[in-house]
Amino acid sequence: MTLPCHHQFHADCIRPWLKQQGLQATCPICKLRVFA
């Protein structure tokens, strides 16, 4: 799965992260907001 910042993650890894973060989710690497 590729985030808007172009960092790539396995879907099974990033989905729980995004769910936990909600609408304020950020990339775990660069902290760019996923949902602008």
Chain segment 11-36, per-residue pLDDT in tens: 999 999 999 999 999 999 999 999 98
User: What are the structural domains of the chain?
Assistant: 1-36 (3.30.40.10)
- DSSP label at residue 4: T
> Residue 11's pLDDT is what?
96
> Residue 12's pLDDT is what?
97
Residues 6+ apart with CB under 8 A from 17: 9, 25, 28
Residues 6+ apart with CB under 8 A from 36: 4
> Residue 36's pLDDT is what?
80
Residue 8's DSSP bridge partners are: 2
